[in-house]
Amino acid sequence: MKRFKRILFLVIVVALVYGVYTANKMLPIATSYVAKEVSSGIFISDRPVDSLLENDVNFNVMKYVGVEVDEDEKSVTANIFGMFKRKAIYRGALGCCLTDGYSVDELKKQSFSKPQFNTIPLNTDIDTIKDEIDFDILKSAIDSVFINEERTRAVVVLYKNRLIAERYADGFSKETALLGWSMNKSIVNTMVGVLVKKQMVDIKENNLFDEWSGDKRKSITLNDLMHMSSGLEWNEGYGGVSDVTRMLYTTGDASGYAINKPLQYEPDTKWYYSSGTTNIISRFVRNRIADDKMYHNLPYNEIFKKIGANSFYYEADASGTFVASSFGYATARDWAKFGMLYYNDGVANGERILPEGWVDYTTTAANASEGKYGAQFWLNKNKAMWDAPDDTYCCLGHNGQIVAVVPSKDLVIVRLGLSLKKDFDKGEFISDVVKAVK
């Protein structure tokens, strides 16, 4: 009996220690997540705080997190039962970031106003192509993803560069900028493409960082990073404490965290999804430009302005580097314009933005990806992902975000939402929309 009590006592002690350890690791991530999501939701998407708390962060442990909004400071502080306080602050065109050991004054100094430019409206004249689309099938496809369980917030469909369908959930509109999550990875692809066109970078170059110069990591090429085949150690798990959650929510320098990971495989021998890889590219671009004003303006002046998409916010962390893996907002129409840039082979409004051949490079499968991934875009080579056209390629993001380009059907398809309880069936939706093309 005494032995049993001792064992029981030890089990309780171990459970308590493990519980405290886990809480100290996970709860700061939870409060960081809430602070960042709510701040961007308020100051970028212009959504009511009550809606954000009720819908966007009302799951798992996040539902127990409280927030304090400071409209004057433009900040949100989150805590759980008064503990694990984390603050996020809005900095103009750089969006919102967690303070992560930086002072508010330091972060405010990074702030700059978005470059002013006009939006370019989408072409809504469908008279010449209306007989090529079965609008009943298209409506049915869109209706199917607005059921409650899917939690779709916006859908936009373009055919031959014309807006042929658009729908929004209650509380959202064509003016609502929405989080793209990992769709933002494809924007860094575009930034690199712009620099390639300017002959400022070569995708084959290696020895990319001083931190890598003394070991085998110096052999990693920019192309390896673009293809997520760097060989760097990485854990992309979202269920708890992992490399990706540490990078996004416990450090003010996402790219610095990723750059310091050790080599696990020979470069270009193994493909695996890594948000860290994308943030490393973002840091590489920043280093190569070597002028923070030019770096921060690059996506606005060289991409968003030229495609006429003025709702974009590409968010940077506390260190000032774009969190290219995850944090960027735009309206559904402007996400569609981004997809249209690739559909039109890198040309927008009569101007070539990306070098000739860049879209072909982007949609060439990475070695070992089995046809499902190119250069920061998902592919469907030989139906590697879905039962949709083989030439489909996509920007994809957490909770079911999609910008799909289907060249053989002249389609760009956008879906934004917050699928939590069920993984949104992206392939089925793409296939259903494709069926509307006669």
C-alpha–C-alpha distance, residues 113 and 219, integer Å: 38
Specify the amino acid at residue 321.
T
**pTM score:** 0.94
Q: Which of 182, 313, 317 is nearest to 249 (CA)?
A: 317
Contact by Cβ (8 Å): 404, 339: yes
Q: Classify domain 130-434 by CATH architecture.
A: 3-Layer(aba) Sandwich (3.40)
Asked if 318 and 347 touch (Cβ cutoff 8 Å), the reply is no
φ, ψ dihedrals at 94, nearest 5°: -80, 0
CA distances from 331 to 224, 322, 372 (A): 31, 19, 27
Residues of the chain within CATH 3.40.710.10 domain(s) are 130-434
- Neighbouring residues of 242: CB distance < 8 A, sequence distance ≥ 6: 235, 236
Tens digits of per-residue pLDDT, 246-275? 999 999 999 999 999 999 999 999 999 999
pLDDT tens digits for the chain (438 residues)?
Answer: 665 555 544 445 333 333 443 455 789 999 999 999 999 999 999 999 999 999 999 999 999 999 999 999 999 999 999 999 999 999 999 999 999 889 999 999 998 888 889 899 999 999 999 999 999 999 999 999 998 778 999 999 999 999 999 999 999 999 999 999 999 999 999 999 999 999 999 999 999 999 999 999 999 999 999 999 999 999 998 777 899 999 999 999 999 999 999 999 999 999 999 999 999 999 999 999 999 999 999 999 999 999 999 999 999 999 999 999 999 999 999 999 999 999 999 999 999 999 999 999 999 999 999 999 999 999 999 999 999 999 999 999 999 999 999 999 999 999 999 998 777 899 999 999 999 999
**Of 255, 247, 237, 236, nearest to 36 (Cα)?**
247
Residue 113: C-alpha distances to residues 91, 97, 138 (Å)? 9, 16, 39
In sequence order, what are the beta bridge partners of 162?
Answer: 123, 159
Q: Are 78 and 61 in contact (CB under 8 A)?
A: no
Cβ neighbours around 372 below 10 Å, total: 18
Give pLDDT, residue 236: 95
pLDDT confidence of residue 20: 40
CA distance 187 to 204: 20
- pLDDT for the residue 114: 87
Whole-angstrom distance, CA of residue 87 vs CA of residue 153: 27
The confidence score (pLDDT) of residue 126 equals 97
The tokens for 310 are: 């003025």
Angle at Cα 274 formed by Cα 272 and Cα 276, nearest 5°? 150
pLDDT of residue 111: 86
What are the b/e assignments for 74-113, b being 16+ CB within 10 Å? bbbbbbbeeebebbbbbbebbbbbbbbebeeeebeebeee
Q: Is 205:221 a contact under the CB 8 Å cutoff?
A: yes
- Report yes or no: 165 and 138 within 8 Å, Cβ to Cβ: yes
Q: What is the 3-state secondary structure (H, E, C) of the chain?
A: CHHHHHHHHHHHHHHHHHHHHHHHHHHHHHHHHHHHHHHHHHHCCCCCHHHHHHHHCCCHHHHHCEEEEECCCCEEEEEECCEEEEEEEECECCCEEECCCCCHHHHHHHCECCCCCCCCCCECCCCCCHHHECHHHHHHHHHCCCCCCCCEEEEEEEECCEEEEEEECCCCCCCCCEECHHHHHHHHHHHHHHHHHCCCCCCCCCCCCHHHCCCHHHHCCHHHHHCCCCCECCCCCCCCCCHHHHHHHCCCCHHHHHHCCCECCCCCCCCCCCHHHHHHHHHHHHHHHCCHHHHHHHHHHHHHHHHCCCCCEECECCCCCECCCCCEEECHHHHHHHHHHHHCCCEECCEECCCCCHHHHHCCCCCCCCCCECCCCEECHHHCCCCCCCCCEEEEECCCEEEEEEHHHCEEEEEEECCCCCCCCHHHHHHHHHCCEC
Cα 368–373–374 angle (5° rounding)? 100
